[in-house]
Amino acid sequence: MSEKTLRKVKRQLPLYLMALPGLIYLLINNYIPMSGLVVAFKNFNFKDGIYSSPWCGFQNFKYLFSTSTSFVITRNTLLYNLVFIVLNTVVAIAIAILLNEIKNRFFVKSFQTVILLPYLLSIIIIGYLVYAFLSNDMGFVNTQILRPMGKEEINWYTTPQYWPFILVFVNTLKNFGFLAIIYYATVISISSDYYEAAQLDGAGKLKQIWYITLPFLKPTVIMMVLLAIGRIFFSDFGLFYQVPQNSGALFSVTNTIDTYVYRALIQLGDVGMASAAGVYQSIVGFVLILITNLIVRKISPENALF
């Protein structure tokens, strides 16, 4: 090793040491468990273990996609996540811009705390809060809104048509605050000189947002959307299992790949099929990230993730 290289290594050694705990965590939590992916291609049994169980090729994948509900769970997972990505992004950007218009620091901190609180709450707690509103006998909506208005009460947990809207609302309420804080951090980093110059040119508030705020936000939005697309075939298990109270009458609109695999494990104990679903979700998510990033690179190369 040359003296120049040695000096460079010594200069960067503190950075390597700072990164070491994170690298060790990634190795233990993310990379070593990847060896267990072989379960997806095996007829797993607990007696023989992971590596001694007999190989079965793609039989686990065949079983996963041959079920009558395979189309429903794939459709639900994909469409819900598409709506979540679009709606959460739009709402979060709007809230971030509105926060930037508040000049009182006390109110800004207060609003940040309020919008972030649902994100910090457990989905189990949120599920019980939803139940408090939608319970058939004691729910707020039935007893305090529909009943006094003389309307027929709704059995929410056996009526599927309302749940796509309920789930989208709950997901947005829980997650938009976290995204809004990220976008707000980008907005406040924009130099005020741009806005002052725009005001001198006669640009109103909407034009300032369209021609200054949104272009500066674009790289952050693209990065967050790409990360979300990478998990588009994964669903929030608690949202689709805990919030609807695992009601069988709602499976047509609440059953996703994750909840289906969980129920299959509970009822059948089929570890191989569950692993196959995980491999399927990861591969599709990885491919979608590559495709989306390729599209972004073609349209706006400077904003591509890689």
**d(C-alpha 290, C-alpha 255), whole Å:** 27
Tokens, residue 225 = 């959307």
Q: Where are the beta strands (DSSP E) in 165-218?
A: none
What pLDDT is recorded for position 1? Answer: 59
Q: Is the pLDDT of residue 2 over 90?
A: no
Phi first, then psi: give them for residue 54, nearest 5 degrees: -70, 145
Question: pLDDT higher for 300 or 94?
Answer: 94
237 has pLDDT over 80? yes
Residue 84: which pLDDT band, with cuts at 50, 70 and 90? Answer: very high
| Cα 181 to Cα 26: distance, rounded to the nearest angstrom | 26
| Matching residue, tokens 């901190």 | 109
Q: At 255, give phi and psi (nearest 5°).
A: -80, 125
| Beta partners for residue 112, in sequence order | none
- 8 A C-beta contact, residue 298 and residue 222: no
Residue of 16, 183, 21, 166 lying closest to 80 (CA atoms): 166
Average pLDDT over residues 203-212: 89
The band of 205, judged by pLDDT with boundaries at 50, 70 and 90, is confident
pLDDT level of residue 21 (50, 70, 90 thresholds): very high
Mean pLDDT (the chain) is 88
Closest CA to 224 of 117, 81, 89, 96: 89
Q: What is the mean pLDDT of residues 276-297?
A: 83
pLDDT reported for residue 241: 93
More confident residue, 33 or 267: 33
Q: What pLDDT is recorded for position 86?
A: 95
Q: What is the mean pLDDT of residues 107-116?
A: 89
Chain segment 163-186, per-residue pLDDT in tens: 999 999 999 999 999 999 999 999
| pLDDT over 90 (residue 9) | no
Answer whether residue 286 shows pLDDT above 90.
no
